[in-house]
Amino acid sequence: MILHAPSRRAFVLGLGATTGLAACQSAPPKPAFAALTYGHKGALRLMVASVEVVTEYVPPMRRPNIEHQMPVSPVETMQRWPRDRLQAMGAGEHFARFTVREASVKETELPRTQGVRGVVTKDQTERYDLVLAASVEIRQQRANFVEASAEARVTRFRTVAEGISLAERERAWYELLEQSMNELDAELERQIRAHLARFISF
């Protein structure tokens, strides 16, 4: 009896099938989300010796809050904002204090359609409410007295449909934060120009 060795073509085909099966079984790569930055908007130059960042808000790390699960942290994004947009000119008897007052995102389960209609209805099953609040104060170096201040607060919400993937949910969270931060950026600049005008260097 003559035994034939397997052909090279058969071996390549078999290897390809095995590789394809392994690829199907591996988990898809987790999407990367870029940090939200605002340096491209230009710096607001303040006639102060320095800019300090204070964070009052502490994420509770439990539901209904879900900030700790988001791919980009609301608190860290707000902490980055003054580094991107506020520039101390290094002169004067004052300093600026940027305070993160709130950076929360809360999840609420929404009611679902019941009965036969519920079988064919794709509901919005969760709502996410985001609140961003911050202030900028100009304080005297010696007495720490507040001479001028500006504040901004943004609230937004978004709902998601049942059955979405984790990647889709994270994308929704990211877009909610991005839209809210863009609004906060614009409002903070308006308030700073209105209330801290005498400390702005043109």
Condensed to tens digits (0 to 9), the pLDDT of residues 38-87 reads 999 999 999 999 999 999 999 999 999 999 999 999 999 999 999 999 99
pLDDT tens, 19-41?
Answer: 343 444 555 566 689 999 999 99
Cα separation, 143 vs 148, in Å, equals 14
Domain 44-111+122-199 annotated CATH 3.30.160: yes
Burial 98-121 (b: 16+ CB within 10 A, else e): bbbbbbbbbeeeeeeeeeeeeeee
Domain ranges of the chain: 44-111+122-199
Q: Which of 5-14, 71-80, 112-121, 188-197 has the lowest mean pLDDT?
A: 5-14
